[in-house]
Amino acid sequence: MQRDKILFLGGDPGTCEMIEYAKGKGVYTIVCDWYDLEHSKAKRMADEHWDISYAEIDLIEKKCRENHVTAVIAASSEFATGIMIELCERLSLPCFADKGAFFYEKDKDEFKKMCRKHNVKTPDSIVIEDVADIDWEKIKYPVVVKPIDQCGGKGMTYCTTRQEVVDACEKVRNNSNSSKILIERKIEGTVYAAYYVFAEGEGKLLFLHSEIKSDPSIPRACQSGSTIAKCKDLYMKQMNDGIIDTLTDCGCKDYVAWVEAILDDNGDFYAIEMAHRCGADLQPVEYSYFGKINLMEWGVDYALGNRHSKQELAVIDDGEDNGFAYSAMVVCEKSGTIGQITGIDQLEQIERINILLNVCVGDKVEAGGKEIGYIGYWTTDIDELYQLINEIQHSLKIVNRSGENMIKNYVTVDVFRKIERI
């Protein structure tokens, strides 16, 4: 009997968890990304690696056919998800992601229209293609200016003046494949992520977590902490049924989808955007320890053609929601050449901690650029979490050749206590 071969597109944190699960099932694993072996933990874990960008879809298709690849999966990257959908279609392989649902992930305005169809609140917004199209009398500050087709805060700017809006529109053009620019009323409040799992067209809320950033002025989520939301009952009353209807109407039938929502100071939830994939941070990995549904494992199952049944969703209702997670994207605040990295070995000895760095000593990095790694941890004991946060801040250092610590401060205990009170 021929052994299954699964191709992983990219080497994000979720990929590493998926590789471990697939290898445990006896599946031959292949990782494809642009990182060399030294910079890719996923490649080092896999049975085989291809040193090509997963953007080179024609070449990847050729190699898949030559190597008799039987499954393709992308863990959390939006771009990789699009490649996965196309590859699976070309190769006639199973794919959890629906093209229709992915369309709504890529077009924030169309998702907002779908929300309104199902009576889900979403911030007022306009879509333009040129600054000259703006009716300035309709702009009520503060606003968020962002690409219609990006995620993770890419190209997004908070604006309080006309000139800031003009400058932000130019920034969008440099970070988007679309000519459309979304200008949205900024909702002041707490950000939440609502993760849903689907099976046979039926969806159920897997978990709702609150999120807070160490520097709220930075749109891109770089350092954040989260906890199982204490306002879950309010969310269920205001949003849950409408969101399930919205996601179903968007085309979500299997596996995972999530919605970013904001709870404003008046106690009202607003839906911001959706994704038909795992998040780019470590939350799906961390909450897999919660013992209900492991999204990383389900992703591999679907790629291998093993669909889950809606009856399995019943496990979500078992037990109480009680957990805290620490999740951070590692981002540099100082440019330079890395002279030393310390603390990794020590931190990896801590149970249930996940660390992934895509840089090595000698690498040149730019301040405020793309994340260079991830850190995640989950526990039911808040005091243990506080201890961990302090341990990470004390231990993990990325130092340039001038002896300066290059990485931004992680979520502090004081910041995380704010989450606990949400």
Reply yes or no on domain 326-420 having CATH 3.40.50: no
Reply yes or no on domain 188-318 having CATH 3.40.50.11740: no
Q: What does the pLDDT look like over 104-116, one tens digit per residue?
A: 998 999 999 999 9
Tell me the C-alpha distance between 6 and 10, whole Å.
13
Residue closest to 242 by CA, chosen among 278, 269, 279, 277: 269
Helix residue spans in 228-274 (DSSP H): 232-235, 241-250
CATH of domain 5-95: 3.40.50.20
Q: What does the pLDDT look like over 230-289, one tens digit per residue?
A: 788 999 999 999 999 999 999 999 999 999 999 999 999 999 999 998 876 656 666 666
The answer to whether residue 300 scores a pLDDT higher than 90 is yes
Which range among 217-226, 295-304, 378-387, 393-402 has the greatest average pLDDT? 295-304
Across all residues in the chain, what is the average pLDDT? 86
Superfamily of domain 124-185: ATP-grasp fold, A domain (3.30.1490.20)
Query: Where residue 19 falls among pLDDT bands split at 50, 70, 90?
Result: very high
DSSP 8-state symbol, 407: B
Query: Do 5-95 and 124-185 agree at the fold level?
Result: no
Cα-Cα-Cα-Cα torsion 225, 228, 231, 234, nearest 10 degrees, comes to 120
Report the Cα 382 to chain-centroid distance in Å. 24
| Mean pLDDT of the 41-48 span | 93
Query: Where residue 39 falls among pLDDT bands split at 50, 70, 90?
Result: confident
Cβ atoms of 11 and 41 closer than 8 Å: yes
Q: What does the pLDDT look like over 374-415, one tens digit per residue?
A: 887 777 787 888 888 888 888 889 999 988 888 876 566 776
Q: Of the ranges 110-114, 145-149, 226-230, which one carries the lowest mean pLDDT score?
A: 226-230
Query: Where residue 222 falls among pLDDT bands split at 50, 70, 90?
Result: very low
Domain layout of the chain by residue ranges: 5-95, 124-185, 188-318, 326-420
pLDDT at 335: 87
Which range among 161-175, 310-324, 407-421 has the greatest average pLDDT? 161-175
Query: Where residue 418 falls among pLDDT bands split at 50, 70, 90?
Result: low
Tell me the C-alpha distance between 301 and 305, whole Å.
6
Q: What does the pLDDT look like over 325-372, one tens digit per residue?
A: 777 778 788 889 999 999 988 888 887 777 888 889 999 988 876 778
pLDDT at 219: 44
Percent of the chain with pLDDT over 70: 87
Query: Where residue 220 falls among pLDDT bands split at 50, 70, 90?
Result: very low
Number of H helices, E strands in the chain: 14, 19
